[in-house]
Amino acid sequence: MLLVYPQRQARATEVTQLQVERGDEGVRLSALVRFDLPPVVEDALLKGIPMFFVLEADIYRDRWYWADLHVASAARTIRLAYQPLTRRWRVNIAAGLISNSAGLRATLNQNYDTLPEALAVIQRVARWKIAEASEVNPDAGHRLDFSFRLDLSQLPRPFQIGVAGQRDWTIAVQVKDRLRLEPAAAAAPALPAASSTEAGK
């Protein structure tokens, strides 16, 4: 008798927590991004192909007489790789965006025993500086654009051709909402989770 098991429904990528603080040292963003790692992505990792996740944040100041003014932007690249010899997972975090020709100048390198441990670090953004304090006027209105995605352009060329347009490789979310700043000591979320939307919708 052949048993057919239903496929597990993958959880859509979503931002379940998002907080922005403004202090003397700058504007810092904290977030929790929830997603399930697709089996095809995990299989590629186990075959030695690293994955790159990109975070981007942009702040715009309201202008009633013209288009909103872009006042600050920040980007971060996270590399996830499996090391077969040690059977451990390595996470590298670097400021800015990278290209295939540029090396990853990581500011944080850490090894983990399991994939869930490594993913937990990737999914949690802790007090990431996205702007100088002087760039955001607390008396003016601002908008925040925050995005998180798996960067398929960093895959080897044969993989890029094979995964183009395949939903199994899609890990992406984007949040666009009013920027509600919290004092540096506050812990309340700055944006509700309901404001997060999947990229492409």
The tens-digit pLDDT sequence of the chain (201 residues) is: 333 323 444 568 899 999 999 988 899 999 999 999 999 899 999 999 999 999 999 999 998 888 899 999 999 999 999 999 999 999 999 988 876 545 566 678 899 999 999 999 999 999 999 999 999 988 889 999 999 999 988 887 766 665 655 677 889 999 998 887 777 654 444 444 444 444 444
According to the model, what pLDDT value does residue 154 have? Answer: 85
Q: What is the pTM of this model?
A: 0.81
According to the model, what pLDDT value does residue 186 have? Answer: 47
According to the model, what pLDDT value does residue 161 have? Answer: 64
Neighbours of 64 (CB within 10 A): 6
According to the model, what pLDDT value does residue 196 have? Answer: 44
Cα distances (angstroms) measured from residue 77 to each of 26, 74, 113, 181, 183: 20, 11, 21, 24, 27
Strand order in the sheet with 182-183: 124-131, 26-34, 14-23, 182-183
Domain-wise residue ranges, the chain: 14-182
How many whole angstroms separate alpha carbon 171 and alpha carbon 122?
12
Residue 100 CA to its chain's centroid (Å):
19
